[in-house]
Amino acid sequence: MDQKQIAAIYHQETKYYETKMADQQKPLNWDAQPSPFKAYHTEKKIDLSPYLPLRTNPFTGKPIEPVPEEKGYPFTLGALSRLLYFTNGVTGILQYPNGESLAMRAAPTAGGLYPVEIYVAVRNNSVLEDGIYNFQSNDHSLALAWEGDFWTEFEKYCFDHEAIASSKLLVITTAVFQRSAWRYHERAYRRILLDTGHILGNLVTYATEEGFYSYPIGEFVDHLLNRLLFLEEGLEGILSVVALPQTPVHVDPAHHQAPHCSQAEIEVSGLDPLLLQLHKGSSIQQLIDESPRKTQTPPSPDALEKKYALKENILLTGEPIDWAGGVGQTILLRRSTRAFTGESFSREELASILEYGYASPSSSRSLLFAPSFLETYVLVQHIDGLEKGVYYYAPVTRELRLIYAGDFENQSWHFCLGQELARDAAALVIHTSHLENAMKYYGNRAYRYLHMDAGHIGERLNLSAIKLELGVSGIGGFYDDEVNALLGLPLEQIIIYITTLGQPHGLHRS
């Protein structure tokens, strides 16, 4: 197998086809489901729950006595508690009739499987010992995993990213593959990356409210960072590092625009599951690139604006979403909608949702990792003031370009594996990318970047829809080639993620 092409091979091999679904979706072995929580046996646990922004502690059911905001340098324990809570803390408990329960989190996750773990690294502060901590969402605490200042290592392994040196706090996301692979098998890696993007969406959005600037980093030497966190290679892996300085940092794009090293030399065993072959094959292996360095600069994201420019252009204008009161309140309310009514919402509401989806507080665009390659299509099914049909969305000029008109609810129902959610949605936002083009710049790692970017935008679409009292849900399972056919796209343009938007059942708008 050509490991240079593992991302393309993986994508092809993990496509869903109606004729193969019986093989691809095997019966679940409930006894083998991994726990969504990681246990750390450490003496040092820091309870963050007194600072929860809630009246009742969701873990004990007891009232929370408000604690006065303590002094802390350079941030308080309260700020860290809220940051982690709104990033992916437990925001709801779902009780099943059999007495079991599911702790639901701030960010959505495919299948309710929660494969992503969060670690924080801190140094030089008055609230915590220097070290690396695992965020234990099941009781909202930090477990000290390793004591010490690891900044030299983080800086080195992240290719001297400018934001790390200026930060005293890093948030690291890792994935425990089997939590998702247990149900989704090889296709799990796609969903794990999307989940990670959603979590980053909460983190990046909420961080500004606590005075942090966020710099998500996707380029690092995987095995060195994994070792720093003592992750079990093959079972888990780091997917992102976010530096959170409290002053803005100048990041030189030229320094970060191309992979620092060849990904082709990585030894990947053909015996590994495909998921692992892609994870390894998209890893960066060494600090110094001995192969000819890529010097190509990715095309400007402006290229995305030029697509379908000759088609009918509809300028979308809507009120910017008013986040007075804080985005945290919306994160608390966020849940994935389980059924839509099939009714419409307005073109202005769609405009506001898309505008927020693409405008990031920390950068001019929401595409964190591969800013030039993610393309957005909107399938309009019931939007007041818009003809039904397939549109391209130009995110900077905020134009919808009608590719062709038509009523495609039956097709959306079908390609989303017969989910009524898709049929009854008012609109579907579909993210796609020309994978080969993205791989020219980022190698196999493009696959990670594109999916994390799509998840990140997906979370922003979630938050803005919820704020407008609309319903929203991600869809990670679809018949890939059927989506291409509907959008009129060649198969080189891969389908990455679908976000459904609509009027939720059981919620009367005020």
Ligand X SMILES: Cc1cc2nc3c(=O)[nH]c(=O)nc-3n(C[C@H](O)[C@H](O)[C@H](O)COP(=O)(O)O)c2cc1C
* Residue 421 interacts with ligand X (CB under 6 A): yes or no: yes
How near is the Cβ of 309 to ligand X at its closest, in Å?
Answer: 31
- Sign (positive or negative) of CA dihedral 335, 336, 341, 345: positive
String of contacts with ligand X for each residue 111-130, x by CB under 6 A: xx------------------
Cα–Cα distance for residue pair 73/133, rounded to 1 Å = 18
Q: Which stretch binds ligand X (CB under 6 A): 103-111, 156-164, 207-215, 316-324?
A: 103-111
How near is the Cβ of 227 to ligand X at its closest, in Å?
Answer: 28
Q: For the beta carbon of residue 235, count every other beta carbon within 10 angstroms.
A: 12
Cα–Cα distance for residue pair 399/172, rounded to 1 Å = 35
String of contacts with ligand X for each residue 30-49, x by CB under 6 A: --------------------
* Residue 195 interacts with ligand X (CB under 6 A): yes or no: yes
Please answer whether residues 228 and 148 qualify as being in contact, where contact means their C-beta atoms are separated by less than 8 angstroms.
no
Q: Which stretch binds ligand X (CB under 6 A): 104-112, 284-292, 347-355, 391-399?
A: 104-112
* Residue 453 interacts with ligand X (CB under 6 A): yes or no: no
Q: What is the DSSP string of 416-470?
A: TTT-HHHHT-SEEEEEEEEHHHHHHHHTTHHHHHHHHHHHHHHHHHHHHHHHTT-
Q: Which stretch binds ligand X (CB under 6 A): 33-41, 187-195, 212-220, 229-237?
A: 187-195
Residue (of 84, 328, 165) closest to 76 by Cα position = 84
Size of the residue set binding ligand X (CB under 6 A) = 19
How near is the Cβ of 96 to ligand X at its closest, in Å?
Answer: 13
Residue (80 or 461) nearer to ligand X, CB: 461
Residue 232 has φ and ψ, to the nearest 5°, of -85, 105
* Residue 198 interacts with ligand X (CB under 6 A): yes or no: yes
Helices and strands in the chain: count of H runs, count of E runs = 18, 18
Which residue matches tokens 């006065």? 68
Name which position in 108, 115, 201, 371 contacts ligand X (CB under 6 A).
Answer: 108
How near is the Cβ of 353 to ligand X at its closest, in Å?
Answer: 17
Q: Residue 346 corresponds to which tokens in the numbers above?
A: 């307005």
* Residue 191 interacts with ligand X (CB under 6 A): yes or no: yes
Residue 290 has φ and ψ, to the nearest 5°, of -95, -10
How near is the Cβ of 426 to ligand X at its closest, in Å?
Answer: 16
* Residue 496 interacts with ligand X (CB under 6 A): yes or no: no
How near is the Cβ of 84 to ligand X at its closest, in Å?
Answer: 16
* Residue 24 interacts with ligand X (CB under 6 A): yes or no: no
* Residue 389 interacts with ligand X (CB under 6 A): yes or no: no
* Residue 419 interacts with ligand X (CB under 6 A): yes or no: yes
Cα–Cα distance for residue pair 214/216, rounded to 1 Å = 6
**Residue 46: exposed, middle, or buried by beta-carbon count in 10 A (0-12, 13-18, 19+)?**
middle
Name which position in 237, 474, 502, 504 contacts ligand X (CB under 6 A).
Answer: 474
Give a three-class secondary structure readout of 141-207: EEEEEEECCCHHHHHHHCCCCHHHHCCCEEEEEEEEHHHHHHHHHHHHHHHHHHHHHHHHHHHHHHH
Cα–Cα distance for residue pair 74/150, rounded to 1 Å = 18
* Residue 194 interacts with ligand X (CB under 6 A): yes or no: yes
String of contacts with ligand X for each residue 143-182, x by CB under 6 A: ----------------------------------------
Residue (123 or 335) nearer to ligand X, CB: 335
* Residue 433 interacts with ligand X (CB under 6 A): yes or no: no
Exposure of 125 in the CB half-sphere (CA atoms within 13 A): 23
* Residue 244 interacts with ligand X (CB under 6 A): yes or no: no
What is the layout of strands, in order, in the sheet containing 312-315?
A: 312-315, 399-405, 389-394, 375-380, 427-434, 493-502, 471-475
Residue (156 or 335) nearer to ligand X, CB: 335
Residue (7 or 110) nearer to ligand X, CB: 110
* Residue 88 interacts with ligand X (CB under 6 A): yes or no: no
* Residue 505 interacts with ligand X (CB under 6 A): yes or no: no
Residue (198 or 223) nearer to ligand X, CB: 198
Name which position in 78, 477, 502, 504 contacts ligand X (CB under 6 A).
Answer: 477
Please answer whether residues 169 and 76 qualify as being in contact, where contact means their C-beta atoms are separated by less than 8 angstroms.
no
Residue (443 or 476) nearer to ligand X, CB: 476
Q: Is 136 helix (H, G, I), strand (E, B) or coil?
A: strand
User: Footprint of ligand X on residues 329-348 (CB under 6 A)?
Assistant: 335-336
Name which position in 229, 461, 475, 486 contacts ligand X (CB under 6 A).
Answer: 475
Q: How far is CA 432 from CA 12, 264, 417, 435, in A?
A: 14, 25, 18, 9
* Residue 476 interacts with ligand X (CB under 6 A): yes or no: yes
Torsion of CA 346, 351, 352, 355, to 10 degrees: 160
Residue (48 or 461) nearer to ligand X, CB: 461
Q: Residue 423 corresponds to which tokens in the numbers above?
A: 């049929």
Bridge partners of 132, per DSSP, are 121, 146
* Residue 104 interacts with ligand X (CB under 6 A): yes or no: yes
* Residue 430 interacts with ligand X (CB under 6 A): yes or no: no
Site for ligand X, rule CB under 6 A: 104, 108-112, 191, 194-195, 198, 335-336, 419, 421, 473-477
